[in-house]
């Protein structure tokens, strides 16, 4: 703004129109400039890169229990190592190790029979490789009686936990939301409960990774399982949509003039979105049903070109070789 100067009469403190109007207008402009701030065009985030999707956990029980001795013999033929271990539940398991890809088999109290399976198909080269190993490891008569009891599906993104949750909006407003904290730092967000629960967490911290990775994980059990038959799983995953509870948005701050109270409110919203996610932040700032009014023109939401639902479906269709899997079913 060009500096305004006084005329000769103003400098002599004499009354003149210049002093009365021009300087008064100048002071008004100074006050307005102090109150009005301009935000630079920026974004809280850009669309995040998908690292991988898959089946992170398949747990189940054998209705006909295979002999531990038979399983150990088969593991030896496969070139795998095995040993007895205890997991978090403090129960005895037989750990079968295939070049760092592990399968855990729960043992009965006599440690003579296998009762259940804990496994992570993602740790194997492919789904077909995972199935092939199970078929060679577990006798056919027992494997045919296997029933899935828990299924975890995952989407891993190349970003921090804060970056991911500030993009996520929860579609069902009745879903219960809770958070996990470690030493005052937010590390997880839970959506829903019971037999269908969506968990978003910082995978870099949990798995001690050297790069940014955050996971959206869908945990299914009971009536929410797509199937209890292992060989039918690829087909069932390709036939139904998952991760439908959420949608992901690109959040952009608009180039507009902001008053002090508007900027403060927007800053509070951004900080909360980074800590508790977009859904929770919007819910807090919409208690009087005026979120759209207050933030209209300040932020712009654009849906990700590939939503989590489609990303999982596309990845699964490709990685699990559905056509090949269907041949094994029939």
**Nearest by Cα to 61 from 302, 228, 234:** 228
Containing H/E element for 146?
Answer: strand 146-157
34-53 in b/e form (b: 16+ CB < 10 A) is eeeeeeeeeebbebbebbeb
pLDDT tens-digit readout, 120-152:
999 998 899 999 999 999 999 999 999 999 999
Answer yes or no: are the C-beta atoms of 137 and 103 closer than 8 Å: yes
Q: How far apart are CA 321 and CA 316, in angstroms?
A: 8
Whether the pLDDT of residue 31 is over 50: the answer is: no
**Nearest by Cα to 59 from 118, 113, 136, 138:** 118
| pLDDT averaged over every residue in the chain | 84
pLDDT tens-digit readout, 193-206:
899 999 999 999 88
Handedness of CA 155, 161, 167, 168 (dihedral sign): positive
Q: How far apart are CA 311 and CA 235, in angstroms?
A: 17
DSSP 40: P
Whether the pLDDT of residue 21 is over 60: the answer is: no
Is residue 1 very low, low, confident or very high in pLDDT (cuts 50, 70, 90)?
very low
Q: How far apart are CA 296 and CA 301, in angstroms?
A: 10
Whether the pLDDT of residue 38 is over 60: the answer is: no
- Beta bridge mates, 154: 54, 217
pLDDT of residue 274: 87
Decide which of 209 and 322 is more confident: 209
pLDDT of residue 2: 42
* pTM assigned to the model: 0.80
DSSP string, 208-232: T-SS--EEEEEEEEGGG-S-S-GGG
Tell how strand 246-253 and strand 42-43 pair up. antiparallel
Whether the pLDDT of residue 20 is over 50: the answer is: no
Q: Is 22 exposed, middle or buried (0-12, 13-18, 19+ CB in 10 A)?
A: middle
User: Rg of the Cα trace of the chain?
Assistant: 29
């Amino acid at each position: 703004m060009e500096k305004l100067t006084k005329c000769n009469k103003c400098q002599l403190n004499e009354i003149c129109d210049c002093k009365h109007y021009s300087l008064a207008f100048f002071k008004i402009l100074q006050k307005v400039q102090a109150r009005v701030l301009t935000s630079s065009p920026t974004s809280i985030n850009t669309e995040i890169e998908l690292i991988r999707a898959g089946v992170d956990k398949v747990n189940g029980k054998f209705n006909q229990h295979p002999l531990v001795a038979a399983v150990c013999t088969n593991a030896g033929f496969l070139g795998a190592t095995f040993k007895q271990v205890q997991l978090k539940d403090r129960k005895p398991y037989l750990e079968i190790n295939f070049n760092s890809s592990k399968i855990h088999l729960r043992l009965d109290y006599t440690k003579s029979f296998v009762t259940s399976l804990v496994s992570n198909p993602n740790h194997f080269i492919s789904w077909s490789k995972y199935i092939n190993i199970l078929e060679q490891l577990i006798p056919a008569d027992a494997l045919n009686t296997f029933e899935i009891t828990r299924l975890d599906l995952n989407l891993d993104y190349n970003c921090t936990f804060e970056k991911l949750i500030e993009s996520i909006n929860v579609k069902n407003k009745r879903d219960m939301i809770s958070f996990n904290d470690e030493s005052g730092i937010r590390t997880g967000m839970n959506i829903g409960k019971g037999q269908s629960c969506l968990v978003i967490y910082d995978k870099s911290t949990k798995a001690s990774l050297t790069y940014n990775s955050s996971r959206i994980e869908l945990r299914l059990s009971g009536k929410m399982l797509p199937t209890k038959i292992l060989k039918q799983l690829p087909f069932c995953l390709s036939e139904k949509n998952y991760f439908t509870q959420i949608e992901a948005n690109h959040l952009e701050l608009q180039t507009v003039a902001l008053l002090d109270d508007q900027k403060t409110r927007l800053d509070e919203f951004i900080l909360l979105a980074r800590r508790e996610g977009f859904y929770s932040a919007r819910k807090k700032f919409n208690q009087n049903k005026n979120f759209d009014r207050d933030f209209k023109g300040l932020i712009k939401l654009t849906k990700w070109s590939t939503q989590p639902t489609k990303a999982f479906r596309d990845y699964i269709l490709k990685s699990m070789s559905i056509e090949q899997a269907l041949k094994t079913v029939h």
